[in-house]
Amino acid sequence: MQTTKLSLLIKLAANNRNIVRTVVSSNSVTVNVSDQLKPLTQIPGPSSFPIINQLHHFLPGGSLYKIDGFELLEKFYKEYGPIVRLDGIIGGTPALVIIFDAESAAQVLRSENWMPIRPGFHSLEYYRKHHNKSREDSLKPTGLITDHGDNWKQFRSKVNPIMMQPKTIKLYSSALDEVALDMIARMRSIRNDKNILEGKFDIEMNLWALESISVMALGGRIGCLDPNLAEDSPERKLIQCVHDIFKVSDELDFKPSLWRYFPTKTFKRAMNLYDEQQKLAKHFVDKAVKELKTKSKSDEEDSVLEKLLAVDEEIAYIMASDMLFAGVDTAANTIIATLYLLATNQEKQNKLREEVTSTHDKRSYLKACIKESLRMMPVVSGNLRQTTKEYNILGYRIPKDHYLTFAHSYLSMMESEFPRPTEFIPERWIAEKDDPLYYGKAHPFAFSPFGFGARSCIGRRIAELEVETFLARVIENFQVEWFGPPPKITPASLNYITGPFNFIFKDV
């Protein structure tokens, strides 16, 4: 009896030490809580077995087999609620908690805003830091996508003032407009007698996106829209390579794969692709740097590349190369989504045409159309973080170093956040405060297509300017129509719109 009492007391004392601990809870204040927080294992989620965890659900016959993207998020939310646990798979996907609650997203993203860690692209990180690299090389900066901690912080603080500066970005307005007009001419030239573009529409939009981002990243045109562009040109090769990288990264970094134990076939393919991307990007950056050296100094303000080179040559190379990587499929899919939504909402398209053909400088409806498209069909569906501390999220203790994803693509389609969520209503972004559709009634973290805070998309302003410029020209020149069923969306790191692309472009 005595022994039982004693052991109970020892247990209680030990438990007390554990119970009163520091966790970050709502409103991002660090507090001591004598909490009753439930452990991670109690977070609702698909049933789990030892060793295989939840794998059986994703195999043929399993309830989640071949379900992905928005459909998967919807299934999770409806079945388990605002917080869902996904167990890791040995040698594959890491354990992950999916959050469908905007306030919890705000709590973590704000608390992690000093040096946020965004996991993902692990195989690319491995390639850049370790594949055929010396120990010394592995400590060097590798870029914003793959660096964390101090390396990331130093890199970002050097490039932020150049890449996030509206004044610098605006310098490119007329050059981007030239690209847009050339793309319109190209679209006319590859249209058939039914006003449908011949060839692959997604590749066409990628060519526009690569040409546009090159103007920004390299300070000049690279010739993607040349009618005689060869199938094996470096431009087309880069587009295909980036596309394959996003796919291969999805296989290696987010699906079960044994590459962390031995070099699998996909891993070897990935290393070759990363190599190829690096070489192709270097080909374009080298060319641009050479041209800069021969260019006589003008009164014009320095380009992004010149400014980056003035700060640090190594950083300039990495950043320019990452822009050619991160800025192509993202912008291309955003323009495809927006065109699709405008083609299937003719009265909105006509309203937009009125604005872009008017003499007004302010293009608030144009911006609203793009925002609405990013709300309904975002190219990135969730924001990912690796926690650097413990959290209390909805009554569960989330340990340090755990992966959390905030499903903003699902949150922004919730009726409670955005009324009539499945309708394309750009007006909600410019409505007055007393309008029931006014966007400000939604939680600010329910719409987050470019991520959040210090780690948010560094190309945001660039992407917005590119998409606005091209979209305005398309709508000014064409009545865009759509026939047949909606396009398919295939998630592979990004949400790829994979067609069929049933667009009709009639002259206005």
H and E: helices and strands count for the chain: 18, 12
Which tokens sit at 280?
Answer: 């192709």
The single-letter DSSP state of residue 476 is H
DSSP 296: P
Q: Which tokens hold the place of 464?
A: 């917005």
Q: What share of the chain is helix, strand, coil (3-state, %, to 5)?
A: 50, 10, 35
Query: Please, which residues have CB within 8 angstroms of residue 268's CB and are 6 or more apart in sequence?
Result: none
Residue 451, Ramachandran bin (φ over 0: left; ψ between -120 and 50: alpha; else beta): left
Binding mask 365-394 for ligand HEM (x = CB under 6 A): --------------xx--x-----------
Q: Does 413 bind ligand HEM (CB under 6 A)?
A: no
Interaction of residue 37 with ligand HEM, rule CB under 6 A: no
The region of 36-44, 260-268, 320-328, 430-438 touching ligand HEM under the rule CB under 6 A is: 320-328
Nearer to ligand HEM by Cβ, of 89 and 207: the residue is 207
Residue 223 C-alpha from the chain's centroid = 26
The Cα–Cα gap between 238 and 216 comes to 17
450: contact with ligand HEM by CB under 6 A: yes
Shortest distance in whole angstroms from residue 262 CB to ligand HEM? 29
**# residues near ligand HEM by CB under 6 A:** 26
> Rule CB under 6 A: is residue 145 a binding residue for ligand HEM?
yes
Confirm or reject binding of residue 326 to ligand HEM (CB under 6 A).
yes
Residues paired with residue 20 on neighbouring β-strands, in sequence order? 34
Distance CA 290, CA 283 (A): 11
Q: How far apart are the first and last CA of the chain?
A: 91
Q: Does 205 bind ligand HEM (CB under 6 A)?
A: no
**Which neighbouring-strand residues pair with 83?**
99
Per-residue binding letters, 453-492, with ligand HEM (x by CB under 6 A): --xxxxx--xx-----------------------------
Element (H, E) at 31: strand 29-34
User: What span, in angstroms and rounded, lies between the C-alpha atoms of 225 and 300?
Assistant: 26
Alpha-carbon distance of 84 to 80, in angstroms, equals: 6
* Binding segment toward ligand HEM, per CB under 6 A, in 57-65, 246-254, 448-456, 496-504: 448-456
CB 383 within 8 A of CB 480: no
> 436: helix, coil or strand?
coil
User: Is 369 annotated to bind ligand?
Assistant: no
Q: Tell me, residue by residue from 154 to 193, as one string, x for binding to ligand HEM by CB under 6 A and - for no binding.
A: --x-------------------------------------
Please identify which residue in 284, 449, 465, 471 interacts with ligand HEM, judged by CB under 6 A.
Answer: 449
Per-residue binding letters, 207-226, with ligand HEM (x by CB under 6 A): ------x-------------
Looking at 267, 424, 452, 482, which residue binds ligand HEM (CB under 6 A)? 452
Smallest gap from residue 426 Cβ to ligand HEM (A): 16
144 binds ligand HEM (CB under 6 A): yes
Choices 49-57, 258-266, 310-318, 329-337 (CB under 6 A): range interacting with ligand HEM: 329-337
Which residues carry a binding-site annotation for heme? 457
Summarize as ranges the residues that interact with ligand HEM (CB under 6 A). 118, 144-145, 156, 213, 322-323, 326-327, 330-331, 334, 379-380, 383, 449-452, 455-459, 462-463
